[in-house]
Every structure is written in C-alpha cells, then in structure tokens.
Structure 1
Amino acid sequence: MSNAPNFNAEYDLIVAGGGTAAGVLVGRLLAAAPSLRILMLEAGPSTRDKDAHVQPGRFMDSFTSDSSTIKFHKSKPSEALAGRELDVPCGQCLGGGSSVNFLMYVCASKSDYDVWEKDFGNEGWGSQALIPLLKKTETYQPQPDAPTHGCDGPLKVSYGGQYTNVGKEFLDVTRAFDHSRQTNDIADPNDLETINVYTRWPKWIDGDTGRRSDVPHHFIYPQDSNPNLTVLTGVYVQRVIFDTDNRTSGAQFIWNPRFHPGANEEIHAVKATRLVVIAAGTFGSPGILERSGIGKTDVLERAGIHPRVELSGVGEGYQDHNFLCVPYKAAEEAETLDGIARNDSESIARASEQWKSTGKGLMAHSSLDAGFKMRPLASELDMLGPRFQRRWEDFYALKPDKPLLWIGVLSMSLLPPALAPLGKYFTMASFTTYPISRGSVHITHADNVDTPLNLTINYLEDMADVVPLMWAYKHTREIARRMPLFRGELAPFHPIFSSESGARVVENSDGPLDAPRRIQYTEDDDRVLKAYIRAQVTATAHGMGTCSMKPREQGGVVNHKLDVYGVSGLKVVDMSISPGNVGANTYSTALVIGEKAAIIVAEELGISGV
C-alpha cells in the first residue's frame, strides 16, 4: 500500500472517500483481485493504532470542538429547536464513522430493508438478500450460532470488557418497574425483529483483545503489502472528471491544508480507466456531485456551476435520528467512564494498564451496558396524543418490527467537562428511530470544498416527532430515580419545572427516591417539557438519504446498481444512498452497503470470489 500519489498513473478504480462503506468495498475487491489498481482519497487523517480509535473507552476524545477526525456541519437556525443552530458531527478520517462512533451494535429491522426493495424498486436490496451480507462482516461473540449473526467475519461484536453496576441496576429496576415489558439479560435485541425487551447491549468491541472493531484496521491497513493500493489522507476531492459523452474519467483533488500545511494549492487530476466511486458520506457525496455539475439546476447556478445533469434529488431527503441525553448524578461507587472522558491521568493509566494486559475493564467499554428498542403498547398510545395516533396508523401499525425509540443507559456523562461538576454520572439516552423530518444538504461554492454547507435539518417540526421524546424523558426518569446509584438530577440539563410541581427536579439525593407511583405531570409541566425537548435535542450523527437509491422520477440519485443517473462509470457507495430511514445506528447498514457494493462492482469488473 502506497501513501504517495503518482499523478502520471492510471488507476482502475478511484474511490472518493475513505469511510466505512468505502473501506469494505476496497478491502473486499483487493482480497479477490490483488492486481486491481485502486486510489482511495480521504479528507481526514489516518487512525492507525491511535489510542483514541482503538481503545473503546476513549471514544469521546474525538468529540471535541477542535477534533481532527470529526467534522461538524452547522445547520440553519430553527424555530422548532428553540432558535438553535446545531453542530451536526460526521466522521472525517480513514474509517469514517467506524473509527469514531459510540461503538453501539444496533441492527435495523427487516422491514427497513424490505422497503428499499419493495417500495423503491431496488432489486436485491431486501432483507433476504442483505442478512447474509450482515453476517459476512461480523463475528458475533455473545452467541456464535445465532441465526441472524455472523460467526467468522473480520469485525468482532461482544459485550465489551466490563458489565458495570450502572447497567446491572438499570435492568434490575426495569424488572420491577415496567411489568408490561420483558427484562432478559441475554436476549438478542438485534435479530432484526425483537422489540420491547430490556437487555444487555452488545458493542463493536473484540471481546478477546478489547479493541474497537473498525473498518480500516480490518480491511485497509492489512493491505500494506499490496503496491496496487494507494491511500491518500488529508485530501479534498473537488469534482469528478468526465469525457465528452458523460463518462467519468477521473477526479480532481486538492490537499487539505489542515493536514498538509506546507502543500501547494494546485488542483491535481488523477485518471480512472474503469470506475469512479463517490463515498464521501451523507454530507460529502452530494457536494462532489454538485461541484461536478450534477444536481438541482438552481443550486448549481447559485454556486456558479454550469449544470451537466439535472438531478433534483442530489442533497435532498436528509434524515437523521433525534437524540436526547439526560444526565443524572451517580454515587461514588458507580463504575463509570467519567474519569477517562475528563482525561484524568490516573483513571486513564489504570484503565489502560488493565486493557493492555487483559483486554478488559473500562477502557474496553464504551459506557453502554443496557437498553431496549421501544414500541408503544396499546395502553401507551393514548399518552402519545392524537397527532402521533395518525403517524402510528400511517406508518407503524402494520410493521410490528419497527421500534419508535431506542432507549438505554450510559455509564458516564456525555457533557463537556466544563458543563458538569467533577463527579460521577449516568445518562439516560434516547433517540427516535423514524422521525418525519426531512432536510437538505447543498454546497455554496463552486470550488472551495471547505466552505460551510447550506444545511437544513428540520428536526421536530412535526409534533409527532416531539411527543415520543417527551415519553422517553418521563419513562427513563422513573427508572433513573429508582436506581440505587441515583444521587440526584443535574438541574441545568433537566426541564425547569415549577417549584410547586410534583415533577420538580431533585438536585441532590442520598439514594434512590421512594417512588411507588409515577410522577404526575400537569399540562403546565408538559408545556415546560416540550420547550426543554426543543432546547436539548441534538443529532445522532446517523445522517443518510442525500443521494437516495430510488427511481429518478421520485427524486432518486442512484439506481439499484448504485449508478448515478445521467452519467456512466460513476457510483455512490455510502449511507447517503439510503432511501428510507433505518431504526438503528447506521454502522451495520454502512457495512452492508459496502458488502453489497463490492459484489456489484466485482460483477461489473469481471472479478470473482468477492
């Protein structure tokens, strides 16, 4: 593998982006055809053997304002979010999200993929075809013979290196608190259909070594001995190059000055003889298309770009999940990652020593121990109100495998250290799995790749997206207050209920609250809670949909072979192709997109054995 470009060389395949799906695609193709000449161009840095990316307990190291491996895209202000602009994160490094995510192992529902095939006409993209590819990528260590999980793939899944007392108490409380749902420590919440079972939660962590299971360490770095792979990090792909009949012939890139401060500003052109793949993610891929003259004519002309192909869906249909994290104070004996997250040298040294010697402990953990995929019971539908009832009937009622929320407990605070007093915490985390909102992502400059995007997210503009998060706050608060480790609510990050309200915040407690009955919320309390949700909800970094795989007349950008409409020799391979939301973290779906793309590309190039 080379890290130096040969500008006079011709490559069989150029891949613009080095994220999750791209890494799987390249790794699979080279394993089957080592002579294939591939150039991978990634905007961010390498992650090879860096603690922040191989030690699970260090995952929060990437989520800082000056991060070198995560790029934050600022959205337009939104009245539905209390006038806020959101900084929406996405991975920008070799491995993309696989190298910086929360390591949560969450699989989508079968119906999510079946919709891709049946509703959007994407042959071969239903659950029956994709489940074998999901299994191909992984080794599921909790149950090696599980029917919907893999047993010999390169990426390992386990419960991590420690089962904290925070996670245990969460499950203990749910057994006594929520009699309508099952609590089962060893249930499989990721068999693509199980709903409403509280259980331990697996993670993308190798249970033997305690290392993060990411894409570059398993698909790209093992290609070191192959001279036909060239990986350039710290480069921005400006656009795709076409010949006279709209066939791609290469790409143009510039050095990212953040990682190559002394490099020239020259635009470099590289040639591809067989195929160009855009794999720059939900935010990056539509931008490369638009700078190449492919997209909505008005967007292109405003940016000073001559339209090559009118494709109205480019940059449209942005989707994410709406994330709510509520912190609680924990007792001193709580087993949490707060010390590691605060970069406390003693905590890091102690956890790292255990991790290096045994692969266990808090450094082999990612704070998540337990959770469940929530689908409302009949008795709860009335609580969600008439607006959600319509959403239920239109979308959920006939799809019993679709959850409304993912809910779990994290053994740490996710707040920046400056916002939380020194101490121990646990966090009740929730996200809505199929929000109604749709947004858009467009460029604002013809050449400058680093110019801020025109990002509209539209979160919470429909009340049917707000009320599930209100339910989640109330439900998880009842669990938190009953946990023996509970020591109070961090008031600045809870609703400001009236001092006369029975729902008022309890800032300090000597232990769990004596709460035989649920808190009764008044109409005024609910008004306060709605305002709190709008002021606190953020993005999950599960963006998708901006280059959707669906018919062109429906706003599609690529077909079921991942070909961009209106040109030839150009594909998109990343989460931007997802035509509908998936009720889960997106890592596993990005992996299956990479696996499917490898098969498609191999067939077209005449390669066998993928």
Structure 2
Amino acid sequence: MGNLKQIVVLALAVLSRTESIAARLPLSGRLLHPRYINDSFLVKNEYDYVIVGGGTAGLTVADRLSEDGSATVLVIENGPLPDSAAVTEVRGGFGGFSSPYFYRIQSVPQPELHNASYPVLVGKAVGGSSAVNAMMTVRGTSEDYDRWGQLFRGGGSGRASPWGWDGLLPYFKKAVTFTEPGPEVRDAVDIEYDASYWGNTSTVYAGWPSFQYPGLAPQIKAFRDMPGVEFPPDSGAGRAGVYWFPTFMDPRKVQRSYARTGHYDGINRTSYDLIYNAKVTNVSIDEDLTANGVVFQMPVKNATKLAFVKAKKEVILAAGAVHTPQLLQLSGVGPKTLLDKAGIETLVDLPGVGENFQDHPMLGIAIMLRNFTVHPSPMDLMTNRNFSKWAQEVWDKNRTGPYSIAMGNVAAWLGMPVISPERHESIASKLEEQDHAAYLPPDTHPTVLAGYQAQMNALATSIRSSNTAFYSLSISGGNMPAGSSVLLHPLSRGSVRLNTSAPTTSEPVVDYRALSNPLDLEILAEFVRFTRAYHYNTSLAEYDPYEMLPGPEVTSDEDIAAYIRRSLSPSEYHPSGTAAMLPRALGGVVDEQLKVYGVRGLRVIDASVMPTLPGANTCQTVYAVAEKAADLIKADA
C-alpha cells in the first residue's frame, strides 16, 4: 500500500508539473503534448531527427521534415522565444536588433586593422539571424552558385551541379513567396521586377513598402552614365547590375517575415517539437562513428542540468557558421592538432572544420549632394516635423508610408570590370600568381591550403567577369545616396576555433583575418575610386557633391590604404564557410549531400556549408540551401 501511495503521489506531481508548463502555452499549442517546451522533462527520449539550432535553416528543415507526419523532429535552440512584436517591426529593418537576441562574441584583434576587435553578431533566438537581419531579400548571381559546383569538378562547368544556379533556382522559388509592389509606388519610381523568378507557395514572404523616396529615381538614373552597368529584369535573375529587390515582409501584416513566422508559428503538429533556452554541448557519436543523438543543457535556478535525446535517423546541425564548427570540434570532429590542445579525443580528423571563415567587409564612403533638394527624403523624416508627423499618422492608421521601408529596396551589385576597367585584369593576374600559402597561417593543413588555392583560382576568373558582383552600394534617395560599400567576395580567410583553454564553457575564438590577403586592400581602393566617379562623373555632379569620407585630400594609394585600415568593418554579419561543402581533399567538411565526412547520420545545413560567399546578403541563400537539404534528407529516409 505504501508503494502504491508513493506511485500516486509521483504521478500527481508529474501531472501537476506538466499542466503548469502547458498552461503557459497558447491554446493552439495544447494538443497531445506541448509544441514548444521550456523544460527537458517534456522532451521525448527519441526523435527521428534532432536539429541543433532553431534559426533560418533549422526551422525550415524542421517544417519540411514533419509536414506529412511520417517523421518526428526536435529542434533545440539556445536562444529565447521572444515576444514576436519585439522583432517584427519593419521600421528601419532592425526591429529585432537588440542584445538579448545576439551572442556576445568579440573577434580576436585584427593586425591589419590596427589590432581592433569587432563584434561577431549572430542571432540567438527562435528564428535565428532571420529575426534580426536587415530584411534584404537578395540572392547572388548565377556564377556564385555555379562556382560551388566547379569546386567539386576540378574547375570545370558547375552548371550541371546540384548546387549550381540551375540546381538551386527551384529552391529559391520554393523558399519565398513573392508579392508584387503596389501600382502607385511601382509607377512612381519605376520599380522593375519579373515574377517568373519567384515562387508563390512558401509561408516566408517577400513584399514591398507602400512608399519610396522620389530621390531614388535620379540616383538610379546616374548609374546609366557609368560604362558597363547593366539593369537586370529582376533581383532574382542571377545577373549583376543595378536593380530593385523586395523585403522579407508579410504584405498582409506589414511585418517582418522570417523563419519563425514562416516555419513555426501557426504550425501544430505532434511530430514537431521545439525546446528553447537549451544549449547543445556535443553530438553523441558511437564507436561505429554514427551520430546517435545530442547532449544538451538547460538552466535550472543557479545551475544547469544535462539531458540526452536520441536521433533515430539523423542529427542535423543548423547552429550557424560560428557555432556549428564549435559543436563539431567539441564532439571530436575537427583538426586533430586543435582537439589535442583542448584535451578532446579525435574521432574524425577533419582539418577543415572551423577554417575557410568568410564574411562581407564594409567600408564607409560618404559623399553628400549639397544641392539635392528632392523632397521628401530620408533626412526629412528626421528634420521635418510635419513630414515625420504625417509618416507616423499613416503608419498608425494603416501601416503605410515611410515606416513601411526596412533598409531600402535598390542597390548596385557590380563586377570588377565595371568597377575597375583599367585595373581588374592586373588584380586577377596578381591573384593567380600569388603564393597562396603565404596568406594563410603557417600551420594550415595541406588540404585546407589546396581548397584555398582552388577558390582563389576560381575567383581570379570571376574578377574578369562582369557577372560576379564584387561591389555593393545601397541607394537611399536622400542627399547622401550611400554610406558604405560592401566587398562581396573577400579573398582573405579566417577561422572559428574552440577555446582550447576552456572548450566547454567559452564562446569560440573568432578570427576574421581581415585584409590578410593584400589584394582585398587593392579591390577596396577601387571601390573608393568608383564611388567617387558615380558621384562626380555622372548626372549627380549637378547636385554639388562633397566628399566627407574618406575626404577629398585622400587621393594617393597609400592614403586610401591607410583610410581603409582605419575604417573597415570586417563583417556585414554574414558569417559563412566554416563547414565547407568541398571535396575532403580540398579541406571540405561536408559532401554534396551535406553529410559530414567520416560520420554517419550527421549533416550540416546552414551557412557554414557555403564554400564561397554569394555576392549578396546570405539569408535568401540559406533558405534555398535548407529547402534543398530537406529534399536530400527525405530522399535518404
């Protein structure tokens, strides 16, 4: 009788605990068990798929794998489940850009940037970086993705590769539903688009503001005065040039559309669970080198508790280009020399894990058009009380007007023959003639060096092509058309490595190695010259341009280089490449099925698999990679 009483008490305690947790969930989540979980007690012992990371890629794949109910999926996210209103506000494009939703990581000092350290901003929330980014819905050119296939084919054609442009375009279409701009704003500034490059079945939306600044028209027109600049029919056409692009925005609500709203909110399936504020410490890999689950921890008062969940089919890493390599290393998959220093047993010696780190550097170039008096303008929103009052009123009334703009919708994405018709050939030749080993750390593994050499040979060809965009300049419509230019294909490579002195308790050690390849400095100098030509040698000259940064006195190669070293940010918050999809002989970490070399049942599906950066913001490409990954995984089921 005593034993029975104890069993009843225990059962009542469990029921009470379960009900108290379920009571904190919305009614839509109270089905057979809670869809999202804030205690490891409610996690089932096993799932078909365990996905590490509830960001752009992780939520997309979780949705796709669980949609027909035949497979069970658990997503484990280290960040919070934020109040959606905190991240969905459109105004300015940075509604979620606040510290609770970012990891707090600083890079190591950068020797070529006066030993400055820089923040490493990656999203830490359900929705990941898609919850905090600038909402720019842009994809790279066809050559960017064909290059991925070439690296598996010895530099040959990448068009037939499953990861070339032709192989990825269907997934770009599947990933995002395109909505056309309204006729009033479209006709007012001549927005050009071609909906045939887009899809209409996704619950992630690409929409348009209900307002555009009229000053955009003359600023776009000025690019027609620059030799070689093209105007593609659509931002999704896979062509470099000057074009309009939409915003990750739900046009019905005029709110950010991101991985959470598209692949989590409103989905009620007993086959799809998510646990948040839970940190995965390592992937469990058995003696047969098969991933069989993950170990994770959750905060409990002033301590943490560890739990294990089994993956019956696969463990899928979607923790991003900073934390995916760290997790692989903590799990015994990575460079043996690094793991030995950290006291971690090497299960698979994979030298490329954490290497090949890339991001998009940004350089401030500010030139004011002193006589540019096209109103209203972005400056009027800050200085004209009547205009700002009107903007607030129309936003409050029906979510229209200037506050429906995120970061803007038009930019130049241009190749080196356009940017530097006189010097691009010299830069390409220098890249081909380099001793590539001289621009990587001296202890670089031969396979990683081989991969770098293959990338540099491919990029030398790309420097000669007008259809690989190296330069990006966003246009504002105000009297300062642009504030910074972006290097879309940096030649320098960094690393993300676990902290060997405290591997399990510290964030990884991130080194951009900015400007470690000196040709990046030469390319950026050409950006300064081109941006000046755009303002001074086109129809914009009639508006009396005045250069604020770098300044009219900065003219010599030496002075421009000194300005770049003082002013460059090594990151546009697009970390990529650290678990590269490359042949193992080229330092690769995953194959073309996104399977980790040497480990069964383990894939990577996030931006870390990109062997080279696309010449665009990375979010739309991550969605396409995730959509394709879901099909690859289902084909193996």
- TM over 0.5: same fold? yes
Shift of 1:480: 5.2
Map of 2:519 onto structure 1: 464
Map of 1:573 onto structure 2: 605
SS at match of 1:29: helix
Would the alpha carbon gap of residues 2 and 447 (structure 1) be closer, same or farther in structure 2, given more than 3 Å must change? farther
Q: Kindly indicate whether the alpha-carbon contact (under 8 Å) linking 1:387 and 1:463 is maintained by their aligned counterparts in 2.
A: no
SS at match of 2:297: strand
Which residue identity does 2:80 align to in structure 1?
P
Shift of 1:429: 2.7
For residues 411-464 of structure 1, the C-alpha deviation after alignment (integer angstroms, 9 at most, x for no partner) is: 69xxxxxxxxxxx96643321121111111001158765513222212222332
Map of 1:394 onto structure 2: 460
Q: 1-side partners of 2:460 and 2:426: how far apart?
A: 13
Which of residues 188, 202, 221 in structure 2 aligns to 1:153? 202
TM-score normalised to the size of structure 2? 0.78
SS at match of 1:231: strand
Q: 1-side partners of 2:525 and 2:282: how far apart?
A: 44
Would the alpha carbon gap of residues 456 and 174 (structure 1) be closer, same or farther in structure 2, given more than 3 Å must change? same
Which of residues 589, 611, 614 in structure 2 aligns to 1:582? 614
Q: Kindly indicate whether the alpha-carbon contact (under 8 Å) linking 1:324 and 1:429 is maintained by their aligned counterparts in 2.
A: yes
- Whether 1:554 aligns to 2:586 is yes
Shift of 1:315: 0.5
Q: Kindly indicate whether the alpha-carbon contact (under 8 Å) linking 2:338 and 2:500 is maintained by their aligned counterparts in 1.
A: no
SS at match of 1:270: strand
Which residue identity does 2:148 align to in structure 1?
W
Shift of 1:155: 2.3
Q: Kindly indicate whether the alpha-carbon contact (under 8 Å) linking 2:381 and 2:387 is maintained by their aligned counterparts in 1.
A: yes
SS at match of 1:221: coil
Which of residues 49, 54, 76 in structure 2 aligns to 1:41? 76
Q: 1-side partners of 2:635 and 2:600: how far apart?
A: 16
SS at match of 2:304: coil
For residues 465-494 of structure 1, the C-alpha deviation after alignment (integer angstroms, 9 at most, x for no partner) is: 1233223233334545738888965x5xx2
Q: Kindly indicate whether the alpha-carbon contact (under 8 Å) linking 1:239 and 1:289 is maintained by their aligned counterparts in 2.
A: yes
**Residues 190-205 of structure 1: matches in 2 within 5 Å?**
190-193=236-239, 195-196=240-241, 198-205=242-249
- Whether 1:218 aligns to 2:262 is yes
Q: Kindly indicate whether the alpha-carbon contact (under 8 Å) linking 1:319 and 1:544 is maintained by their aligned counterparts in 2.
A: yes
Q: 2-side partners of 1:388 and 1:63: how far apart?
A: 38
Map of 1:188 onto structure 2: 234
Shift of 1:91: 1.6
Would the alpha carbon gap of residues 61 and 150 (structure 1) be closer, same or farther in structure 2, given more than 3 Å must change? closer
TM-score normalised to the size of structure 1? 0.82
Q: 1-side partners of 2:535 and 2:613: how far apart?
A: 30
Would the alpha carbon gap of residues 403 and 50 (structure 1) be closer, same or farther in structure 2, given more than 3 Å must change? same
Q: 1-side partners of 2:471 and 2:193: how far apart?
A: 28
Map of 2:14 onto structure 1: none
Shift of 1:292: 0.6
Higher helix residue share: 2
Map of 1:534 onto structure 2: 565
Q: Kindly indicate whether the alpha-carbon contact (under 8 Å) linking 2:357 and 2:494 is maintained by their aligned counterparts in 1.
A: yes
Would the alpha carbon gap of residues 238 and 323 (structure 1) be closer, same or farther in structure 2, given more than 3 Å must change? same
Which deviates more, 113-122 or 235-244? Answer: 113-122
For residues 267-298 of structure 1, the C-alpha deviation after alignment (integer angstroms, 9 at most, x for no partner) is: 22222222111110000101111111111111
Would the alpha carbon gap of residues 159 and 529 (structure 1) be closer, same or farther in structure 2, given more than 3 Å must change? farther
SS at match of 2:472: strand
- Whether 1:272 aligns to 2:327 is no
Q: Kindly indicate whether the alpha-carbon contact (under 8 Å) linking 1:240 and 1:250 is maintained by their aligned counterparts in 2.
A: yes
Which residue identity does 2:162 align to in structure 1?
G
Shift of 1:351: 5.2
Would the alpha carbon gap of residues 278 and 24 (structure 1) be closer, same or farther in structure 2, given more than 3 Å must change? same
Shift of 1:190: 3.0
Which residue identity does 2:343 align to in structure 1?
G
Shift of 1:338: 9.6
**Residues 180-329 of structure 1: matches in 2 within 5 Å?**
180-182=228-230, 187-193=233-239, 195-196=240-241, 198-223=242-267, 225-255=268-298, 262=301, 264-327=303-366
- Whether 1:13 aligns to 2:55 is no
Q: Kindly indicate whether the alpha-carbon contact (under 8 Å) linking 1:388 and 1:467 is maintained by their aligned counterparts in 2.
A: no
Task: Please list every run of 5 or more consecutive structure 1 residues that lacks an aligned counterpart in the other structure.
Answer: 413-423, 498-502, 505-520, 606-610
Which residue identity does 2:107 align to in structure 1?
S
**Residues 348-387 of structure 1: matches in 2 within 5 Å?**
354-355=394-395, 357-377=397-417, 380-383=420-423, 386-387=426-427
Q: 1-side partners of 2:425 and 2:558: how far apart?
A: 14
Which deviates more, 477-486 or 581-590? Answer: 477-486
Map of 1:507 onto structure 2: none
- Whether 1:124 aligns to 2:162 is yes
Which residue identity does 1:9 align to in structure 2?
N
Q: Kindly indicate whether the alpha-carbon contact (under 8 Å) linking 2:428 and 2:464 is maintained by their aligned counterparts in 1.
A: no
Which residue identity does 1:564 align to in structure 2?
V
SS at match of 2:420: helix
Shift of 1:216: 0.9
Task: Please list every run of 5 or more consecutive structure 2 residues that lacks an aligned counterpart in the other structure.
Answer: 1-34, 181-191, 433-458
Which of residues 172, 196, 200 in structure 2 aligns to 1:134? 172
Would the alpha carbon gap of residues 446 and 251 (structure 1) be closer, same or farther in structure 2, given more than 3 Å must change? farther
Q: Kindly indicate whether the alpha-carbon contact (under 8 Å) linking 1:384 and 1:467 is maintained by their aligned counterparts in 2.
A: no
Which deviates more, 159-168 or 376-385? Answer: 376-385
Which deviates more, 124-133 or 461-470? Answer: 461-470
Would the alpha carbon gap of residues 149 and 280 (structure 1) be closer, same or farther in structure 2, given more than 3 Å must change? same
Which residue identity does 1:580 align to in structure 2?
T
SS at match of 1:88: coil
Would the alpha carbon gap of residues 199 and 112 (structure 1) be closer, same or farther in structure 2, given more than 3 Å must change? closer
Q: 1-side partners of 2:139 and 2:66: how far apart?
A: 27
SS at match of 2:315: strand
Q: Kindly indicate whether the alpha-carbon contact (under 8 Å) linking 1:170 and 1:479 is maintained by their aligned counterparts in 2.
A: no
Which deviates more, 326-335 or 243-252? Answer: 326-335
Q: Once superposed, what is the RMSD of the aligned Cα atoms?
A: 3.3
Q: 2-side partners of 1:354 and 1:379: how far apart?
A: 40
Shift of 1:181: 3.0
Q: 1-side partners of 2:545 and 2:464: how far apart?
A: 42
